[in-house]
Structure 1
């Protein structure tokens, strides 16, 4: 079934512009409420958000839609995306909603839906909800209109849940940790988790004002976290994104540790302890060839999917795997959560640092990555530059130039009008020429 509103990670767009309007959000609440309601019992939805100004508008519009069809609403306020998935399942809610555009600037916003099992919805269910949005909706009679309330202990529940994933009788005493919450959804809960586990913490990106989410902070711009780590002599830095479902780490020398290195570390440790299900790590086509070669040496299988954490999770669920993620820092620990959780991934690395008693730079230096280059080219949504013959020819020429010593991944983003051109090869100079040539062709085709 075709979907018009939903992309690879929910619905996303510029706030107060179609489809990110209060009207669309209310109709979405009505349709989703109808889809997840059956029988005569009361039904519940939990709604979380990040710290964008437009979150208030969308939060109440969604809630109005849900209550109008008879569903009760529990509002969580600013809270990480993985917490919404966890609480949907824990509270036996029928549906969960996260209002966030993740790593995008504050002008954008998005809506992600979770089913009663805590997982993001399938393409088929999203298509069905879109169909319901276009049809007349049966409203609840006055006595069956839903109610709205704030869930006061949602944060506390997630904090205790996150702490419980850290090995019992082991703490972070003696570690100095910089935590950068990107002025986003985790600004309250993440520092508390680290503090209560015993770490000395230095907080940045914890003063949201509705407009500064992801601005010069967080995993998409970790420079502030890098400076704070070096200047304070911290052992590690943790840089989350706006909704805290992804993470980049900073070692004690101020160098960034991406998702590939984090996955390599966790996969290796889990394999050694017999915890890695089927000896397999699930990741996407974007992960570095260096990761693939390291895992092969360790006897760990690597399964690649399309880009998008939802596709990683789908492969994990269908294959019975418990570890997956993306180079961008979405790390899915299926023993604990149903989607990427930046804080929980960081706790796994902190456990390794504490256990091994070595600097973060040594613990996380798992492999030497192949030179990799990623460039984005914006295009008019009406154009189709990847179908242009000149672009296809440039891609073919690039693949021939790299040969067996490299690879290319060119795709349209599922969340914004951008063509992503990624390449990796042993020869960095040749790689740059190939990627630049393809980007130029895409720019010409996109006008």
Structure 2
């Protein structure tokens, strides 16, 4: 058997996968977007995150059950192809691939902006190019190198959140006086429990969902994980606990240290809090954390798009081959070149153009997540008939009711995006993309 045919190397350990799963749930949506979420919901944002987190957990349990049923599939989209048909797999696969490509392009552009904070007199494109090359090398050297990089990227994000939670506890327990006043637990609810009389509460659900975007990334690592039957369930089960600790804990600390009415959508609440208690380098610290989050997103994007293109291209294509290190290097090369175009394109187009495309990708992810729940429903029906192998000991609780409830929840968020002025155009754009790809799938007779 040749190197190209022997399959992926299983070199990702539980330590890697656990942090990958956690890192996928923590991004700039929390560090930069929490201020806007708090402004729209007030302390009720905690309930919004709990509800959203439970549905995300249901989706991940469904994904985990699928992965364990056949851990040889390189990407979870392959299950959609198997259970929903080749045309559906084709459309959803390319949608997922382009979604991650666009996310990588926007994050690469963001890296230039973050580096400009420290080096305002230098152009941003050299920084973008440097990060692009380094992260590309991390992905083509060895899978373990990717796992180590993602582990430490996630560790930095987790450390920042833990620092916020510990700071809040210490100040509240000691009732310490800061520039923002006396710190008490009652600050969380003493200014009201819901913002704007609940008028903007639904918009907060949309923003909370976007904070979890990428949580499914662990579903791309199964074929390269040591002992996936043990590692994947542990990683998935830990997600709900970590959501409660990191999201609920961090947001609670933020609203205890400073009244939630003081936060503004345009500035990171982490910066506001640390600056308020006298940490002069707060803005620089958070800038470093969001820089790490952006690098983590690009790192994950290279890994995902490489595996996706490998799966979509098929074994007869040069992009469907593995190198001697059992890595789809040709597929990663093409994905990297496309992402690298952002360095050039960003010179001609404003950053807003990338934000526009990025939110379009986010709308497409909603459809992919709904398709994942439908895929799980079809799998369960076939498993019941005995046509595919049943999974023992790790199942989606309360299925199929939990499937339908999760689909309804995701559909409601999609509708909110469709009727919101800020996201209406991008959501329609995502629907147009799916329609075009569906027509193409029929023309090509996939």
Shorter-normalised TM range:
under 0.3
Larger proportion of strand? 1
Task: Normalising by structure 2, report the TM-score.
Answer: 0.22
Larger proportion of helix? 2
Task: Normalising by structure 1, report the TM-score.
Answer: 0.22
